[in-house]
C-alpha cells in the first residue's frame, strides 16, 4: 500500500506537484495519466525515494520513505522512464547485480523463469551497451519484478516493447498480487490492465475514477481522457 | 548560414555558464589558478630578463608547447562536437550537405581555440606590461596566432582520421608533426599552413566515415560470473569488471612501469638534462627528491584519483539504480571504494622500477610514501566525486583535486624532512602518520555517504 499525503515538489520556480494526495491500495492496478510535464514521473520518483520533495509524507506499506527509507525501498520494484544501465555489464551480470543487492537467494531460477517469459534469455551474455532500446527495456522490467515486490511502480512499461512481450507484461500485471502503479500515455494500456485511473494536470490531481466506470460512461479510455480534460479546461 | 557553428557556440557557452552556476566555488578556484599562473609566468619572465645568467629563453620551446597544447585541445574538441556528438544527428539528417555541417563544426572549434588564445595571450601581455617588460613583438605574436590556426587544422584532421576505418589517412599529419619536431623552427609551421588546411579540408570531406565508424554497434559477448554476493562484494565486482573490460587495469600497470622508469632516470640524470649549467649548483640539489615526489604524485593521480573520482562521477544516469535499491549509503561508498584496493596493486610496479635507479635501500620509504599518497588521493577524490555526481570526468574538477593533492603531499614531504632532521629512525612516526590517515579516510568515507544521501528540506507543514 502506498500513501502519498499532501506532497509538494518544486523545481526552482516550477511547481511539479502541488499538495497531491493518493492512496494506492493493495491488489489494485492504478494508472496515472496526464500530458507531458504533468508530474507523473516525478510522483513515481518520489515514491521510490530517488527524488526529494519539499512538503508532505510518503509511506510504503507503513514505512516512511524519508525516515525509514531502506525498509520502504525493500517493498518496491521500479521501472524508470529512461532505464539507463551499466553498459559494460552483460544482461545476466546486471540482473545478478540487482539480485545480490536485493539479497535474493534463488536468483538463478528467478532470472531463468522471467527472462524466458520476457524473451531475452538468449541475449543475456551480451553487453547491455550493445542492446537495442527494447532489449534494455526488457532487462529493466525484469530487474523491477524479479524480487516479486509488493508495490510495483512502472513508468511507461510497454514503451519500446514488441507486441508479444507487451502482452506478456500486461498479463503479468493483471495476474500479480500487490499494488501496481503505472504512469503512462497509453489509453489502451490503461483500459487493458488498470482498475483505477488518476488524471494529473500541472501537478494537481483533477480526476480519480474506476476505469470501468469511465469506459461505460464515455465508450473508451481515449474518449474519457479527452472529454475529462476538456471539461477541466472549460 | 553557419547555423551549426552558431548552435555549437551557443550551447557550449550556455553549458559553461550552467557549470559555473552549479559549482561556483570550483570555477572561482580554477579561474583564480589561471590568473595566478599567468602572473607567475610574467614574474618568471621578469626574473629571467633581469638576473644575469647565460640562460636562453627559447621562443621555439614556448611556441611548440603552446602549439601542442592547442593541437590536443582541438583534437578533443572536434571529437566531442562532431565524432561523438549525438545531437549532430539532427543537422546531419537535413538537406544541408553533411560536409558543410562538418566544416561548420570545425569552424566552431577553430573560433573557440582563437577566443581562448586571444584571451590568454592578451592577459599575459597585460601582466607583462605591469612588470614594465617590452611587449612590442608583433611578428612573434602573428607567428603564434598562425601556429594556433595550423594546430587547429592538424588537430581536426587527426581527430577525424583517428576514428576512421582507414587510419593510414593520419600519415600526412604525422609526417608533418615529425618534420616540426626535427626542424624545431616555428617558421616552418607557418609555411606549412596551406598543407594543413588542404589535409584538414580533405579530412572534413571524408568525416562522415569516421562519424559512422565510431557509432557502429558491436554485440560483445562476455563470460558472465553467475552468483549472488554480499553487497560490498557485489559493488566491488561491478566496479572491477568495468575497469577490467575498459582495459584500465592494464593501462594502470603499464603507466606505473613507465613512470617508475622515467622518474628513476630523471632521479639520476635530471640535473644534467634539465638545469642549465649556471643554475645547476643553486637549483640542482633538490631535483632527485623532487622527481621521486613527482613520480609518486603522477602514479597516484592515475591509479587513485582518476578511478576514485569516476566511482561516482560516471553514475549520472545510473544513480536511480543505487538510490531506489534498499542499500545504505555507507555500504555503497565502502563497496565502491573497495575496488580502489585493486587499483592500488597496479601502482606497486612503480616502486620496483624506480628502485632500480634509486637503490633498494629507499624501497621502504617509497612504499610508505606511495601508500600515504594513495590514501590521500582517495580521501580527497571520493567526497568530491560524490559531490559532483554526473560531471563526467570534469577537467576542472580533476585540476582542483590534483592541486589539492599536490599541496597535501608537498606539506607531508616538508613534515617528513623536519622529522628526519630530529630523529635518526623515524619509522614509528611513519606508522603513526598512516594510522592517523586511516582515521581521516574513515571520516572522508562517512562524509561521502552523508553527501550521497538525498537532502529533504521538508517544510514545517510536513505531518
Q: Do B210 and B248 fall into the same domain?
A: no
- Answer yes or no: do A65 and A164 share one domain: yes
Q: Give the pLDDT mean for A150-158.
A: 92
Q: How distant, in Å, are the alpha carbons of A179, B296, B352, B353, B443 from that of B373?
A: 52, 7, 17, 18, 17
At residue B220's C-alpha, the angle toward residues B219 and B222, to 5°, is 145
Q: What CATH number does the domain containing A43 carry? A: 3.40.50.300
Closest chain A residue to the Cα of B314, Cα to Cα: A86
Check residue B24 and give its pLDDT: 82
| Residue span of the structural domain in which B241 resides | 231-452
Whole-model pTM?
0.81
Averaged pLDDT, B180-199? 88
Between A87 and B375, where is the model more confident?
B375
Instruction: Check residues B93 and A94 and name the one with the higher pLDDT.
Output: A94
pLDDT value for B117: 94
- B133 with B99, same domain: the answer is yes
Q: Which residues of A touch B223 (CB under 8 A)?
A: 125
pLDDT band at B224 (very low <50, low <70, confident <90, very high): low
The 10s digit of each residue's pLDDT in B46-55 is 877 776 665 5
pLDDT of residue A178: 87
Beta-carbon separation of B463 and A70 below 8 A = no
Model confidence at B65: pLDDT above 70: yes
Which residue, among B219, B229, B392, B456, would best test binding to A if mutated, counting the most A CBs under 10 Å from its CB? Answer: B456
| pLDDT (average), residues A146-152 | 91
CB-nearest partner of A100 from B217, B229, B246: B229
Q: Clarify whether residues B147 and B296 are in a common domain.
A: no
pLDDT > 90? residue B91: no
Cβ–Cβ of A96/B458 closer than 8 Å?
no
- Same domain assignment for residues B90 and B11: yes
**Structural domain count, chain A:** 2
Q: Check whether residue A61 and residue A171 sit in a common domain.
A: yes
Of A124, A148, A172, the domain-final residue: A148
Q: Does B232 touch chain A (CB under 8 A)?
A: no
- The average pLDDT across B351-378 equals 91
Distance CA B284, CA B277 (A): 10
The rounded percent of chain B whose pLDDT value lies above 90 is: 37
Q: Region B432-440: what's the mean pLDDT? A: 94
For residue B292, count other CB atoms closer than 10 A to its CB.
Answer: 22
Cite the beta strand spans of chain A per DSSP E: 2-11, 14-24, 29-34, 55-60, 63-64, 76-79, 151-155, 179-183, 196-201, 204-210
The yes-or-no verdict on residue A225 having pLDDT over 90 is no
Q: What is the pLDDT of residues B210-219, one digit of tens each?
A: 888 887 766 6
Give the A:B interface size as CB pairs under 8 Å.
121
Q: Where are the beta strands (DSSP E) in B138-229?
A: none
Give me the pLDDT at residue A12, please. 82
Q: Are residues B331 and B392 located together in one domain of the fold?
A: yes
pLDDT in tens, A12-52: 888 888 888 888 887 789 999 988 888 899 999 999 988 89
- Asked, for residue B463, whether it belongs to a domain, the answer is no
Q: What is the predicted pLDDT for the residue at B52? A: 61
Q: What band does A201 get if pLDDT is binned at 50, 70 and 90?
A: confident
- Asked if A158 and A67 sit in the same domain, the reply is yes
Q: Which of A110, A130, A148 is the last residue of a domain?
A: A148
- Number of structural domains found in chain B: 2
Indicate whether A36 and A88 sit together in one domain.
no
**Statement to judge: residues B188 and B305 lie in one domain:** no
Q: How many residues does chain A have?
A: 234
Average pLDDT of B136-159?
91
Residues of B in contact with A126 (CB under 8 A): 219-222
Q: Which domain holds residue A51?
A: 2-75+149-233
pLDDT at B277: 65
Does the CB of A64 have a partner CB in chain B at under 8 Å? no
Contact B324 A49 (CB under 8 A): yes
Lowest mean pLDDT among B24-28, B114-118, B254-258: B24-28
Asked whether residue B198 falls in the same domain as residue B282, the answer is no
Amino acid at each position: 500500500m502506498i500513501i502519498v499525503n499532501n506532497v509538494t515538489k518544486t523545481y526552482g520556480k516550477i511547481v511539479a506537484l502541488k499538495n497531491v494526495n493518493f492512496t494506492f491500495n493493495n491488489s489494485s492496478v492504478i494508472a496515472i495519466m496526464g500530458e507531458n510535464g504533468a508530474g507523473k514521473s516525478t510522483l513515481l520518483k518520489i515514491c521510490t525515494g530517488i527524488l526529494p520533495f519539499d512538503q508532505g509524507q510518503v509511506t510504503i506499506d507503513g514505512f516512511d520513505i524519508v525516515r525509514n527509507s531502506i525498509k520502504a525501498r525493500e517493498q518496491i520494484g521500479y521501472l524508470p522512464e529512461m532505464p539507463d544501465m551499466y553498459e559494460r555489464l552483460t544482461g545476466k551480470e546486471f540482473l545478478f547485480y540487482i539480485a545480490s543487492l536485493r539479497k535474493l537467494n534463488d536468483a538463478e531460477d528467478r532470472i531463468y523463469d522471467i527472462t524466458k517469459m520476457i524473451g531475452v534469455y538468449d541475449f543475456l551474455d551480451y553487453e547491455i551497451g550493445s542492446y537495442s532500446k527494447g532489449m534494455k527495456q526488457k532487462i529493466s522490467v525484469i530487474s523491477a519484478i524479479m524480487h516479486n515486490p509488493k508495490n510495483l511502480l512502472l513508468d511507461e512499461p510497454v514503451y519500446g516493447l514488441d507486441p508479444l512481450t507487451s502482452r506478456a507484461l500486461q498479463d503479468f500485471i493483471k495476474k500479480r498480487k500487490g499494488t501496481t502503479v503505472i504512469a503512462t500515455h497509453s489509453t489502451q494500456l490503461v483500459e487493458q490492465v488498470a482498475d483505477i485511473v488518476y488524471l494529473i494536470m500541472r501537478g494537481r490531481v483533477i480526476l480519480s475514477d474506476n476505469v470501468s466506470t469511465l469506459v461505460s460512461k464515455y465508450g473508451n479510455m481515449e474518449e474519457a481522457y479527452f472529454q475529462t480534460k476538456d471539461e477541466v479546461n472549460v | 548560414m553557419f547555423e551549426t557553428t552558431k548552435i555549437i557556440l551557443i550551447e557550449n557557452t550556455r553549458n559553461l555558464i550552467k557549470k559555473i552556476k552549479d559549482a561556483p566555488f570550483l570555477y572561482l578556484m580554477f579561474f583564480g589558478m589561471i590568473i595566478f599562473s599567468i602572473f607567475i609566468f610574467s614574474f618568471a619572465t621578469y626574473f629571467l630578463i633581469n638576473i644575469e645568467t647565460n640562460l636562453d629563453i627559447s621562443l621555439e620551446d614556448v611556441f611548440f608547447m603552446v602549439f601542442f597544447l592547442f593541437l590536443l585541445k582541438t583534437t578533443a574538441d572536434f571529437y566531442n562536437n562532431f565524432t561523438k556528438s549525438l545531437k549532430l544527428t539532427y543537422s546531419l539528417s537535413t538537406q544541408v550537405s553533411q560536409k558543410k555541417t562538418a566544416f561548420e563544426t570545425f569552424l566552431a572549434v577553430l573560433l573557440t581555440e582563437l577566443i581562448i588564445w586571444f584571451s590568454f595571450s592578451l592577459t599575459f601581455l597585460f601582466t607583462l606590461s605591469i612588470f614594465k617588460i617590452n611587449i612590442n613583438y608583433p611578428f612573434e605574436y602573428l607567428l603564434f596566432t598562425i601556429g594556433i590556426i595550423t594546430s587547429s587544422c592538424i588537430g581536426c584532421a587527426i581527430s577525424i582520421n583517428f576514428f576512421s576505418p582507414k587510419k593510414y589517412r593520419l600519415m600526412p599529419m604525422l609526417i608533418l608533426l615529425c618534420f616540426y619536431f626535427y626542424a624545431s623552427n616555428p617558421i616552418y609551421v607557418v609555411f606549412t599552413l596551406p598543407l594543413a588546411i588542404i589535409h584538414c579540408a580533405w579530412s572534413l570531406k571524408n568525416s562522415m566515415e569516421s562519424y559512422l565508424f565510431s557509432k557502429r554497434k558491436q554485440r560483445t559477448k562476455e563470460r558472465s560470473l553467475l552468483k549472488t554476493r554480499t553487497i560490498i562484494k557485489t559493488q566491488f565486482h561491478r566496479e572491477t569488471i568495468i575497469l577490467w573490460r575498459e582495459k584500465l587495469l592494464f593501462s594502470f600497470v603499464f603507466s606505473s612501469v613507465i613512470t617508475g622508469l622515467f622518474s628513476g632516470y630523471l632521479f639520476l640524470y635530471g640535473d644534467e638534462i634539465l638545469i642549465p649549467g649556471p643554475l645547476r649548483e643553486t637549483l640542482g640539489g633538490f631535483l632527485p627528491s623532487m622527481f621521486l615526489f613527482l613520480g609518486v604524485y603522477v602514479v597516484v593521480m592515475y591509479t587513485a584519483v582518476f578511478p576514485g573520482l569516476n566511482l561516482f562521477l560516471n553514475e549520472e544516469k545510473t544513480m536511480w539504480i543505487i538510490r531506489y535499491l534498499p542499500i545504505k549509503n555507507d555500504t555503497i561508498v565502502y563497496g565502491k571504494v573497495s575496488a580502489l584496493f585493486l587499483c592500488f596493486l597496479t601502482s606497486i610496479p612503480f616502486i620496483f622500477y624506480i628502485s632500480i635507479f634509486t637503490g633498494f635501500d629507499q624501497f621502504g620509504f617509497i612504499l610508505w610514501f606511495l601508500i600515504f599518497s594513495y590514501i590521500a588521493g582517495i580521501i580527497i577524490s571520493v567526497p568530491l566525486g560524490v559531490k559532483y555526481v554526473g560531471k563526467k570526468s570534469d577537467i576542472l574538477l580533476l585540476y582542483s583535486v590534483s592541486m589539492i593533492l599536490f599541496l597535501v603531499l608537498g606539506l607531508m614531504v616538508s613534515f617528513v624532512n623536519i622529522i628526519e632532521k630530529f630523529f635518526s629512525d623515524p619509522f614509528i612516526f611513519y606508522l603513526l602518520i598512516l594510522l592517523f590517515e586511516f582515521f581521516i579516510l574513515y571520516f572522508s568515507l562517512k562524509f561521502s555517504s552523508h553527501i550521497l544521501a538525498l537532502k529533504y528540506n521538508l517544510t514545517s507543514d510536513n505531518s
